Structure 1
């Protein structure tokens, strides 16, 4: 039996894109139900061609890790290189491109466990820097959550989106011993 605080982690692959999309859909619905639509909007990722292509690229790109409980994906982590809209790092790094968890497991430490795995991967590669970006709008709760996970806010940024409100973001860093 899997310890609820320590899910099984496994590398993802091309067949896991639907699981990533399901996690996105559930998170979007959860956020929207709370009036927090600035992060990912209200449209299900599984119906958005851009998100579908993104999930497929992540699933086949070699950086996807899934947290599972009872063989069901309950969290997804994607690590790789920084996205084009954030300031470039000044040293070698591992970048967290995605972290999404099943809200049914909120408070269980699942997100923190996935970030700890990202740190382990960075150390295995001889890297001393882990970076992530996140939505910095609304009340800043997501930025504060990453800070509680050992990250330090560095560079704020804004993504301009044609026909939509700008997306406020925050880059955070974590130095690894």
Structure 2
């Protein structure tokens, strides 16, 4: 497998929408295993409120890149692999932000986004009965989002592990000892079996 590269998410490449498309790519699979209750069956990338929310997360990440950790801290990342242009379908070239008309471009390879991750300084409201507000005496980094794009499989194999490793590195750099990962416990644990 090619190496997985992690880059900060960017508004210039509309990575808020990219993150939502990762959600959308999971919907039919979740439905197929009886887990559609997790996110429903409606595309998020088509809904302006979701687009604004994720665009906002990417903007906050970009604006605060050099800021120290705080409860308002947010970082968004995209995992990419470099793939030969000739090995990609037109659908995957579109995901890479390329098109078949670009096939004559100088580069033999393109960067294909395969997964994304968001790190936050506090837990989401819906998990506060399980994960409390962040405590300055024992802070954590909350991982509300870690998703691959099923359309890019198998190119992104291992991207989740690389992103988690990146989150651990970020925590160490900040002197934070805990990561808290958001995970849905539903459908008789079928997601974790």
TM-score using structure 2 length? 0.65
Contact kept? 2:148, 2:156, Cα under 8 Å? no
Runs of 4+ in 1 over 3 A off after TM superposition: none
1:1-177 matches, within 5 Å, as 3-4=1-2, 6-14=3-11, 15-62=14-61, 63-70=75-82, 71-81=111-121, 82-85=123-126, 86=128, 87-90=132-135, 91-103=138-150, 104-105=153-154, 108-142=157-191, 144=192
Counterpart CA distance in 2 for 1:124 and 1:84 is 26
RMSD: 2.1
Once the two structures are TM-superposed, the CA of residue 21 in structure 1 deviates from its matched residue by: 1.9
Measured against aligned partners, the alpha-carbon deviations of 1:74-99 in whole angstroms (never above 9, x if no partner) come to 10000012212322244211111211
Which stretch has the larger CA shift, 52-61 or 122-131?
52-61
Q: Which structure would you say has the larger Rg? A: 2
Q: Indicate how the Cα distance of structure 1 residues 100 and 49 shifts in structure 2: closer, same or farther if over 3 A, else same.
A: same
Match of 2:89 in 1: none
Measured against aligned partners, the alpha-carbon deviations of 1:9-28 in whole angstroms (never above 9, x if no partner) come to 10112221221122111112
Once the two structures are TM-superposed, the CA of residue 107 in structure 1 deviates from its matched residue by: 8.5
How many pairs align?
141
The higher-RCO structure (CA 8 Å, 6+ apart) is 2
Unmatched 5+ residue regions in structure 2? Answer: 62-74, 83-110
Contact kept? 2:120, 2:144, Cα under 8 Å? yes
Unmatched 5+ residue regions in structure 1? Answer: 146-177
SS in 2 for 1:53: helix
Counterpart CA distance in 2 for 1:54 and 1:39 is 19
TM-score using structure 1 length? 0.71
Select the structure that is richer in strand. Answer: 1
Measured against aligned partners, the alpha-carbon deviations of 1:63-120 in whole angstroms (never above 9, x if no partner) come to 1100012312110000012212322244211111211102223992221211111111
Q: Indicate how the Cα distance of structure 1 residues 21 and 107 shifts in structure 2: closer, same or farther if over 3 A, else same.
A: closer
